[in-house]
Amino acid sequence: MKHYKIFKDVIKLLKRNKRQSILTSIAIGIATFVVLIVLSSQTYTFNSLSEGLNIDKNTTSLTFTPHNKLDLEGFTDKDRSLIEKEIGFQPKLISSSYGKVIPTEFQQQRQNLSFRTEDNLSENQVGLPEVLMGKKIQETTKANQIAISDKALKRLSRNDNIQRYLGETLTIGKQQYKIDTIYQSSAVKEVLPDLILSNKTEQQLLKNHIFYDQMDVSTNESGTIYKMLAILDEHGVNKEKGTYDFIDNVQVYEDTKNETNTILNFIAILSSISIFVAGFGVMNAMFSTVNERSKEIAIRRALGAKKSQIYMSYLIEGTLLSTIGGLIGVAAALVFIILMNLSGMVATVSVMQVIITLVINACLGVVFSILPAMVAANKNVIEGMK
């Protein structure tokens, strides 16, 4: 009953200092909002990662790697029929476009350069690179022209000053093509090719041959996967020209997810410092409140209030401020997450994450209210009455 009366008095005091209470709670709320949004972004990041790797946990991608990079041979319809007959699955042949390499000549220099079409990049969720000089890549790939990366052109020309080569011609497969675009290469996005061609140019270079370097099969059982590889090693059409293997996309995803999770958790920890900083705002507000109520505290002590009651009332007040701020932040974060989901960006935050955040807020409220509560409880009655 005694604690209930103290709690009731605290509510009245908070209402009396509405502006200060609201501003302090909002500061805590903003810090809580930031932490929860960072935590919720993990779901969006993992979903984007899964989509970017094109992962289906029930599908395995068998791969073919030619011994000679220039020998664009891979899986065939006969291989697909063989797996379907022996295993019972219906495989799907895929041209991933990552293995396309062709000899390219420029000013008596020859290099084996990788190439893709704009459609290849789009199918593999790879954005177009930044154009350094020349036409837009979309314009180049509509014509029988070539877009080349700055790094590839430097390798071909053995010259750092590549601007002068815009408009020059390359020889690819005994055909000459004009350099109309030079784009920025990337050390991070290794999937970016040396050359970006039009679909028509690719058909000319490959002579309408389709290079299937990947076969997707609807299974993730390791025994079945190795059985399929053994069949291809023995009966595959191009077994003498390359090696068969498989991509464990799920393991790649899990490893990347763990690394990403570590980074995001670290960011969440850094952002949680904002709650700690906001806690000093609670302490400052409580000290201000104690100074403003010096006379009131002295009167309460003179009327028989114990130090423990004064201490408890200010401890509860600081804790309430922090908890209310936490609830405001949680509400704002949940509304923001709902809006993200409505816009197509899947993000979630668990009940446990919300509870832990609120508990941390309450604990920091207690910690940062201890000192002001002690100052209030030990106020000199006589000096307070002056």
Q: Is the pLDDT of residue 192 over 60?
A: yes
> Per-residue pLDDT averaged across 158-186, rounded?
88
> Per-residue pLDDT averaged across 196-206, rounded?
84
Q: How confident is the model at residue 230 (pLDDT cuts 50, 70, 90)?
A: very high
pLDDT at 98: 65
Q: Which two tokens stand for residue 148?
A: 């080349």
Q: How confident is the model at residue 132 (pLDDT cuts 50, 70, 90)?
A: very high
Q: How confident is the model at residue 14 (pLDDT cuts 50, 70, 90)?
A: low
Q: Is the pLDDT of residue 183 over 90?
A: yes
pLDDT at 99: 67
> Per-residue pLDDT averaged across 317-346, rounded?
85
Q: How confident is the model at residue 153 (pLDDT cuts 50, 70, 90)?
A: very high
344 vs 89: CA distance, rounded Å: 34
Cβ-based burial of 245 (10 A; exposed 0-12, middle 13-18, buried ≥19): middle
Average pLDDT over the chain, rounded to an integer: 80
Helices 249-292 and 351-377 pack at an angle, to 10 degrees, of: 20
Listed by start position, the domains of the chain span 2-52+253-385, 61-247
pLDDT at 368: 86
Higher pLDDT, 162 or 293: 162
The number of angstroms, rounded, from the C-alpha of 238 to the middle of its chain's C-alpha atoms is 39
Which of 31-45, 152-166, 203-217, 260-274 is least confident? Answer: 260-274
Q: How confident is the model at residue 88 (pLDDT cuts 50, 70, 90)?
A: confident
- The answer to whether 320 touches 371, Cβ cutoff 8 Å, is no
